[in-house]
Amino acid sequence: MDTPWESPIRRRLRASEPVFGCTITTASLDLAVRAATAGFHFLWLELEHSPITLETVHAIVLATRDLPAVPFARLPVTETWTAKRVLDAGVQGVIFPFVSTPALARQAADACRYPPLGRRGSGASLAISCWPDPDSYFDSADRNIVAVAVIEEVSALERADDIAATPGIDVVFVGTGDLSFSMGLRGQQQHPRVEEAASAVLAAARRHGKSAGRPAGTAAETRRYIDEGFLFFQGPSDLALFEAGAEAVLGPHGITPARRQRTLY
């Protein structure tokens, strides 16, 4: 009997191996395909902080089908209907923002699974057409969709243990950017208080057998976070990687940011 298909992200996390996502903020299918073959494990399709639409999400899902990196989507808000739409477009994981209560964690988990396990609605014809195991989509999706709860408010830290304990939540992710603002630190993501909070979330995830994640912008940061126990990483955006590549090529011969601003404006 054939072994049922397993999400490559789930497989790596189960083996305590890290996974890295490229944050996609543009509608370019060429760029998404390049990102999906550049070494990343998943694409973090950014619907909260970029103008990516549902139509673009589905186009990226189709364009990257059978490529190494699989599509995930970060929602603009944690609601059942928003998760339903990206799932029906064919993503393999959903990243829920501002999960600050156990009730929101339960809602997020339920949105990713069909009854009786959850409350996902039936209407996934688009997803079925591009799912790796289309003949048994409903059962396969219930086993393999990855639900990520983002903790990014001070109030959520007090409930981190209950959020991590929620059945159906697979990854507890520390949103260090918004968390720093919630702490009054306004973007100081490396501040000791933010790091202390991240460690507390990591400990909660471990207590309940869940993976923990956070953003990582450099190789040095990534090594340190892996040593600490984090496994699920949001990497830089497509545009940030382009800028870093341009800077590496041009070096001191390129237009500096100050001159660039004067040139454009």
Name the residues annotated as catalytic.
49
CA 154 to chain centre: 20
Q: Determine whether 159 is exposed, middle or buried from the number of CB atoms within 10 Å of its CB (0-12, 13-18, 19+).
A: buried
Report CA-CA distances (Å) from 131 to 61, 92, 108, 137, 235: 10, 9, 21, 7, 25
Q: How far apart are CA 232 and CA 226, in angstroms?
A: 9
Report CA-CA distances (Å) from 194 to 21, 41, 98: 22, 26, 16
Q: How far apart are CA 224 and CA 214, in angstroms?
A: 12
DSSP 3: P
Q: How many CA atoms lie less than 13 Å away from 192 in the CB half-sphere? A: 0
